[in-house]
Each structure stands twice: as structure tokens, then as C-alpha cells.
Amino acid sequence: MKAALDYATQNADAFVDQLKDLLRIPSISTDSAYNADTRRAADWLADDFRKIGIPNVDVMETGGHPIVYAEIGSDPDKPTVLVYGHYDVQPPDPLELWDSPPFEPVEKDGIIYARGSCDDKGQAFMHVKAAEAYLETTGELPVNLKFMIEGEEESGSVNLVPFIEKHKELLKADVVLISDTSLFAPGVPSITYGLRGLAYVEVTLTGPARDLHSGVYGGGIENPVNALCKMIADLHDENHHVTVEGFYDAVRALSNEEREGFRALPFDEAAWLEEAGAPATKTEDGFSTLEGITARPTLDVNGIWGGYIGKGAKTVLPSQANAKISCRLVPDQTPGDITEKLRRHFEKHVPDTMTLDFKDLHGGHGAIVDTKAPAMKAAAEAMEAVFGQPPYFTREGGSIPVVADFKRLLGLDSVLMGFGLDSDAIHSPNEHFGIDRFHQGIEASIRFLDAYSRQ
């Protein structure tokens, strides 16, 4: 491993130059005008895998953009690590807010500015360079290594699940390694061990058959907006708990150890609140803000509309009221179960003056990984060696659906070892990635593969 680490240090600048080449390819998966560029990024990666001496490389077709697969080693005595990442990027719009062109990487004060620099070309490429460091020095890896770099993450990964289902044998591994998340704070190492899932529904209440005159009908016909507001208000009790029957049944309770872990995190709540721009926080009774945003389920209205929403006053008694409502889920809640519970709740409480239309829009499973699993220990060891302090184990409030897919389809846990920062402006203008973090990621990957082989 020492030789690999030295190689990475010696080739640090070359690695950055190579990354810049990859960043120059506008692989915007959601815009078909960039289909050729997106494929070019896949081919570029496949070429790089071949250059570093991986014999088994394939640009595999899907119904959409291809998946770059690479594999080295099949030693039955070694564990197998599957690295997941994505080579596609978000559209760069609004272009006028970029300080430099999104696909012409600019290095400034040790930071690379370019679309995809952090999400996820920069982070996925760290693992390619870690493999190179081993192959160019010791000539072999401490583990069997598989890469699966997809090209549709920013457009919904629509072909990913079918691909995994079709290639279960090919993708067999002991653990998945993903770098597509963030450090807890600059210089503060962390490993994400929990993600929330999602149940997203849309409800429409219909009262009268058309918009009515509020003077002529008001007082005799119930207003669907008022009624929907009441139904939404009743979804939380005075302690901000969700009132949907059975909502918390499957929630895995936080252990004392986990809660201690949350308390130990250097979470600057005042700074966090200021960044969000709200006058005060609000969390369900009995839980801290950090627990509330990462380890507890939620229910939020994402959008509401009904009646007259133009300028001025129109005296309409609306025919319909609509809301998009979603729940963030925690293990072991499932989107199917929670959606059904929401449906039953709404059906039970719809007034007799209204009809209800309830739509299941979207769902995703949460995920949680045992922090004492061998791969997690290996990741912690690697991170501590890189940063000089043990990593925090954290949970994230958002969702990475592929993590649940790997668990569900392949039985694999994922190690989420991310080197982004919340301030990296992913999905926004002036996306960037610290070159120091790029190198820390390569080092951590080298150290993880070694540590995991010894577990």
C-alpha cells in the first residue's frame, strides 16, 4: 500500500489533468442534444480503465445511456468491492450565473470549477486512480474490484434497476463503495450510514363541479381549499408527530449509542438555521434538530394549489384543491406501506361534501448500514488515517435510491464515503471540488481497499 500511496502523491498533478479532460465532456444525460457527448464520456472512462491495465472493460448498453463496467481480479480468497458512481452531470443552467464556462475546468485557489467536478465525475474518478496506483506499483489489488459507472443518475437512473436485475451474477460482490455524498464539514471526516426514503403522493379534493361565486354559494357549499387545509393540518398533532395511523410502526428506534453519536457531532445549529433563512427551527417533540432532519420520518406539503391565484381579488369558491405531499422515510418504513397508510387516512377523513382523488407519484426506500460491519470499520480506519481523526458516522436526510436497490436486489450494503461539501454548489452554477479533497479521496480509497482486505 505504501507504494500505491507514493504513486498517488507523485502523480497528483497528472490525476488532476486527467480529471479536467473528463470534465470537458458535457455529458448532460437529461438532454438528448448531448447524447453523443454522454457516450463520449463513457468511452473516455473505458479507455482510462484500459490504460491503467484493467483487462475486463465493457461499455454496456442499456435502454438509455451506457454503463461503464470494469473488473479486475477474481481471487476467491479476496473480498470483492463494487464501486458505483456516475459519469453524467446536471445541466449547467442558468449559464449566465457561472463565473467561468461549466465545461472548461478552471483551477483557482486549489479548487476546480466545472460541472461534474464534485457530482460525481471527480468523486468517481478517485477510485479509478486508487486502482491505478495499485496496478502501476504492486501490479495487483488487495481485493477483487468491480466498477459500475452509470450515465443516467441525473436523469432518474431509469435503466439502472433493470440492469442490476439482468446482471446479478456479474455484479456479485461483498460490499458497494460509493463516493457521492459529503463530508460533515470541511476537514471533518464522516461516513454516511443512513439515508431516508420517500413516499410522494398527490391529493385532489373536489367539491362543487365548477368554480362557484363565493357570494352566491358561500355558506352552503363547503370549500375544498378550506377542507384540504383542515385535512393537512390534522396530519400533525400538537407535538408535531404525524397522526397517520401506523405511521411510526416500522420505524427503527434510535439506539442510545446513535443518539450519543448525534450529540457528539459538531453541528452548528445557529449557522445551519441562518443558512436556511428561517426564524426558528421546528422538530417533533423529543428529538434534536439533527435527528429530525436525518433519522426521523417527516411529512411535508411540497406544493399546494386551488382557486384563484392571480393578482387581485376574485370571489371564487373553488371547485378543487390540490396538494403534493411527501414523507421522508427511515428504516424500516417502506414507501408502499406508508403510501397505503396515507391513502387510508385521506379516504377516512374526506368530508361527505367532497370527493377525493389520491395518486401515488413516487417512492424510494431508505437505507441503513451497520456501523460495525467490516467494510464500515475499514472505511473508518481509512478516513482516520487520512484526516488524523476518526470519522463521525452520520445519517443524511435525503435519498440515494441506488443504495436501497443494491440492498434489495443484490443483498449488498453500501459504504458512503463522500468527499463533497454542502457548499460545493452541485446542481447549481459554479459547481466546484477542492483538489485537496480529490487527493484525500484517492488516498482514502487506497487505504480502504487495503483495510477491507484485512477485515
CB-count burial class (<10 Å; 0-12, 13-18, 19+) for 202: middle
Using CB under 8 A as the binding rule, whether residue 429 contacts its own copies is answered as no
79, 452 contact by CB (below 8 A): yes
Using CB under 8 A as the binding rule, whether residue 304 contacts its own copies is answered as yes
Please provide the DSSP assignment of 361-393 as one string: EEEE--EE--TTSHHHHHHHHHHHHHHSSPPEE
Using CB under 8 A as the binding rule, whether residue 372 contacts its own copies is answered as no
State how far the Cα of 392 lies from the Cα of 418, in Å rounded to an integer.
12
State how far the Cα of 68 lies from the Cα of 85, in Å rounded to an integer.
10
Of 293 and 417, nearer to its own copies (C-beta) is 293
Please provide the DSSP assignment of 134-169 as one string: HHTTTSS-SSEEEEEEES-GGGT-TTHHHHHHHTTT
State how far the Cα of 310 lies from the Cα of 38, in Å rounded to an integer.
41
Site string for its own copies, 137-176 (x = CB under 8 A): ----------------------------------------
Using CB under 8 A as the binding rule, whether residue 423 contacts its own copies is answered as no
Q: Is 153 a catalytic residue?
A: yes
DSSP 236: B
CA-closest candidate to residue 196, choices 316, 368, 79: 368
Active-site option among 37, 71, 88, 150: 88
* H or E element, residue 219: none
Of 156 and 246, nearer to its own copies (C-beta) is 156
Segment contacting its own copies by CB under 8 A, of 28-36, 140-148, 293-301, 382-390: 293-301
Using CB under 8 A as the binding rule, whether residue 293 contacts its own copies is answered as yes
Q: Is 275 a catalytic residue?
A: no
Of 145 and 295, nearer to its own copies (C-beta) is 295
Of 116 and 366, nearer to its own copies (C-beta) is 366
Q: How far is the CB of 275 from its own copies (least distance, A)?
A: 9
> Scanning residues 308 to 327, which ones bind its own copies (CB under 8 A)?
308-310, 312-319, 321-324, 326
Q: How far is the CB of 394 from its own copies (least distance, A)?
A: 12
> Scanning residues 373 to 412, which ones bind its own copies (CB under 8 A)?
396-399
Using CB under 8 A as the binding rule, whether residue 418 contacts its own copies is answered as no
Q: How far is the CB of 35 from its own copies (least distance, A)?
A: 22
Of 20 and 240, nearer to its own copies (C-beta) is 240
Q: How far is the CB of 407 from its own copies (least distance, A)?
A: 18
Active-site option among 120, 153, 413, 431: 153
C-alpha cell, 215: 357570494
CA-closest candidate to residue 177, choices 5, 399, 384, 417: 417
> Scanning residues 197 to 236, which ones bind its own copies (CB under 8 A)?
198, 200, 207-210, 212-223, 225-226, 228-230, 232-236
> Scanning residues 244 to 283, which ones bind its own copies (CB under 8 A)?
272, 276-283
Of 47 and 308, nearer to its own copies (C-beta) is 308
Half-sphere exposure of 90 (CA within 13 A, CB side): 18
Please provide the DSSP assignment of 398-447 as one string: S--HHHHHIIIII---EEE---B-GGG-TTSTT-EEEHHHHHHHHHHHHH
C-alpha cell, 140: 495487483
- Name which position in 53, 303, 390, 411 contacts its own copies (CB under 8 A): 303
Site string for its own copies, 3-42 (x = CB under 8 A): ----------------------------------------
Segment contacting its own copies by CB under 8 A, of 97-105, 173-181, 186-194, 292-300: 292-300
Query: Mapping DSSP to helix (H, G, I), strand (E, B) and coil, where does residue 90 land?
Result: coil
Of 214 and 371, nearer to its own copies (C-beta) is 214
Q: How far is the CB of 421 from its own copies (least distance, A)?
A: 13
Show contacts of 107-112: CB within 8 Å, 24+ apart.
Answer: 107/16, 107/435, 110/434, 110/435, 110/436, 111/432, 111/433, 111/434, 111/435, 112/16, 112/19, 112/20, 112/23, 112/432, 112/433, 112/435, 112/438
The residues carrying an active-site annotation are 88, 153
